Amino acid sequence: MTKSTKKKLQRFLVGYSRFLGTAAIIGVILLLIPLSVPRLFGYQTYDVVSGSMEPEIPVGSMIFVKEIVPEDVVEGDIIAFYSNSNVVCHRVTYNNIYERKFNTKGDANPDEDLNDTTYDQLIGKVEYHVPTLGIIGSYIDSSSGKLLIGEVIVIAAMLHIVSSKIKL
């Protein structure tokens, strides 16, 4: 291998290392934007784990919930609320402002929910949902997902550091 060929190979490897490091960091940022930026605008995010709202909101979706005054909820709105320790997302069939409670129903369920939802249980109105994003968000929120994100960032930083140390 000639000196000029070695130089070209070194330049290529240095440039490729920098590119991979930068692409990895950009990939992590792009992956985390839809999971974190909505919170800056007052949205809470939740992963959909049951099919009670299919086909409108498929399992694996991420829902974006905005706080709302309970009296402003209208029939047909989809709301998120606490049921025991779980977050449930169902459609409102009736808002009883005098008793301060909602009748709700999952779109895929044949009947209305057995228990009414009180205003105290309301988290907010579902404004948006993105299919599949809930699966990704759930994985990133897990220990192995956080470890993977950390590893990608460390490897990307190492690629940049090593490539900057090589003298061409």
SS (H, E, C) 70-102: HHHCCCCCEEEEEECCEEEEEEEEEEECCCCEE
* Residue bearing the bigger pLDDT, 63 or 31: 63
Residue 46, helix vs strand vs coil: strand
Residues near 91 by Cβ (< 8 Å), separated by ≥ 6? 53, 76, 77, 78, 79, 104, 105, 106, 107
Residue 45 has phi, psi (to 5 degrees) of: -120, 145
pLDDT in tens, 127-145: 999 998 888 888 888 999 9
Sorted by where each starts, the structural domains of the chain and their CATH numbers stand as 1-41+132-168 (no CATH), 42-131 (2.10.109.10)
What's the one-letter identity of residue 132?
A: T
pLDDT in tens, 98-113: 999 999 999 999 999 9
CA-closest candidate to residue 76, choices 105, 45, 46, 96: 105
pTM: predicted TM-score of the whole model, two decimal places = 0.77
